Amino acid sequence: MTAFFRRYCKLFPAFQVLFAASIFGGLFTPALAGDFQLTPQTRFRLTIVQWMPTKGAYERWDALGGEFLISQTGTVTLPVVGTLAVAGLDSAGLSTEVANRLKAKIGLVETPEITVEILEQPPVYVVGNVNAPGEYKFHPGITVLQSLAMSGGEFRPLNGTQNSVDKTGYVGQLHEIANATLRSEIKIVRLQAEMSGAKEMRPDLVPQDDQGLASAIFQQEQVIHAARLNDLDRQSKSYGELRDLLTSEIDITEKKISSTDEDIASIQKELSNVKSMVERGIALPTRQSDLERTLRSYYANRLDLVTSIMRARQNIAEATRNLDGLSDKQRTEVASQLQAEQATLDQLKLKRDTTQTMLLNALSAGGGLQAGEEPLAFTVTRQVDGIAKEIAAEETTVLQPGDVVRVLRQKPPASNASAASTSLPVAENAQAEQASQ
C-alpha cells in the first residue's frame, strides 16, 4: 500500500493533495469561493460594450455604465434598467441579469457584453475589549482571530491615566466624526439639488448643528453647484452651436447643388445643339467632346456636394445624440455620487454610535480585572435578509463583508451549583449586554 501510494504521488501530484485532504479534512477549513454574493454597501463598476457590425468594432456605452453602490436594502438603481434587486447574485449573475434586461427593454438583437468589477466591499467592524476598535478593510478569507489582530489584540488596561487618555481620544473622535457628518449631509443637499435640476441649493435643508461651520461648508458647496451647472450649460451650448453651424452648411450646400443643376441643364441643352450640328457637318466633333467632358465634371461636383450634405447630417445626428445624452450622463454621475455619499454618511453614523458606546464604557469602567483572568468570547452581528442577527463565533470563523465582531470577556460561573442557572450561550450573553447598553 505504501509503495502504491508513493508511486501515485510521483505520477499524479494532485492525488497526494486529495489523499491528504481526505485524511486531515477535519483539521482544515474549506477555501472560500473566488466570487462572493453582492452585499449592501458594495461598490462596483459596470462596463457595457456592444458589437456594431456596421462599424466592425465594439462601441462602449458610457452613459449606461459607471460606478454604483448597492443600497442598504440590497438594491441598485441603473440607467434604463431601473431599480434591480441584487440579493443572492454574484458579479457574473448581475452582469447576466443586466444584459438580459437591457436586451429586452431596448429591443437589441444581440445581448450586450457587460462586465461587473468589484471596487470595494463593506468593511468589517471590531468592537469590545480590543485596543483599537473601529472599521477595517475586508479581504476574502479573513477570520475572527485576524480581525482581533488588526484591532491591536485584546484590551489590557494599564492604569487610570491610560483610561483618561482613552476618554480624551474618544471625545476628539466624536468631534471629528460630527464635523465629517455635517460635511456629508450638506454635500447630499447639493447632490439632491443637482438631481432635481434646481438652480439653487435649499438652505432650509442644511443641518443647524454648528451655524458657523455649516454656513462655511454650505457656501463651498454652492460654489461647486454653480460651477457644475455652468459647465453643463457650456457643453450644451457648444453642441447646440455646432448643430446650428452644420444646418447652415447644409443650406449653403443645397444652394450650390441648385446652381450646379442649372449649369448641367444649360450644358445639356448646348450639347444637344452641338450634336445636331456635328451630324450635319457644321461643327467639329471636338466641340462635342469638350461639352461632354464639362458635363461629367459638373456631375462629379454635384455628387461631392450631396456627399457633403450627408456627412453634415450625420454630424448633426451625432451632436444631437451627445446633447441629449449630456443630461443623462450628468444625472448618472450625480446619482452614483449621491449613493456613495449616503453610504459614507451611514458609516459615519455607525462609527459615531460605536465611539459613543466605547466612551460610555470608558466612563463607567472601574478598576477592572487584569487581562488574562477571563477568557475571550466572540460574537458576529451579520445582516441576513435585511435583519441584523447576532451569532456566536470562534477564532476560526470566516467573516463576511459588513460583519461586526464583538469581543467580550466571559464571566466565570459563581459556583458549580448555580452554573446551570447563570451561564448563557455566547450569542445570548452578547445580546443581553447590547440591550443593557
pLDDT tens, residue order, the chain (437 aa): 444 444 444 444 444 433 433 333 333 333 333 456 788 888 889 898 888 777 778 888 888 888 888 888 888 888 888 888 887 788 888 888 888 888 888 777 778 888 888 888 889 899 988 888 998 988 888 999 888 888 888 876 655 445 555 677 888 888 889 888 888 888 888 888 888 888 888 776 566 656 678 888 888 888 888 888 888 888 888 888 898 999 999 999 999 999 999 989 998 988 888 888 888 888 888 888 988 899 899 999 999 999 999 999 999 988 888 888 887 888 888 889 989 999 999 999 998 998 888 888 877 764 444 444 578 889 999 877 768 888 889 989 999 888 899 998 876 555 443 333 333 334 344 433 443 33
Per-residue pLDDT at 304:
93
Helix (H, G, I), strand (E, B) or coil at 412: coil
C-alpha cell at 240: 447646440
Per-residue pLDDT at 119:
85
- Rounded to the nearest 5°, which phi and psi values hold at 127? -135, 170
Q: 27-60: buried (b, 16+ CB within 10 Å) or exposed (e) per residue? A: eeeeeeeeebbbbbbbbbebbbebeeeeeeeeee
Per-residue pLDDT at 178:
87
Nearest Cα neighbor of 91 from 102, 79, 111, 76 is 76
Angstrom distance (rounded) from CA 246 to CA 316: 6
- Rounded to the nearest 5°, which phi and psi values hold at 398? -85, 130
What does pTM read for this prediction? 0.39
The answer to whether the Cα torsion of 235, 241, 242, 244 is positive or negative is: positive
Per-residue pLDDT at 297:
92
Angstrom distance (rounded) from CA 319 to CA 332: 20
Per-residue pLDDT at 207:
63
Angstrom distance (rounded) from CA 336 to CA 120: 14
Nearest Cα neighbor of 262 from 294, 308, 298, 306 is 298
What count of other Cβ atoms lies within 10 Å of the Cβ of residue 97? 17
Nearest Cα neighbor of 196 from 231, 237, 229, 230 is 229
Would you give the DSSP letter of residue 26? G
The answer to whether the Cα torsion of 219, 220, 221, 224 is positive or negative is: positive
Q: Which long-range contacts (CB under 8 A, 24 or more apart) does 197-201 make?
A: 199/229, 200/225, 201/225
Per-residue pLDDT at 437:
36
In one-letter notation, the amino acid at residue 394 is: E
Angstrom distance (rounded) from CA 71 to CA 316: 39
124-128 and 404-409 strand pairing: parallel
C-alpha cell at 211: 451655524
What count of other Cβ atoms lies within 10 Å of the Cβ of residue 303? 12
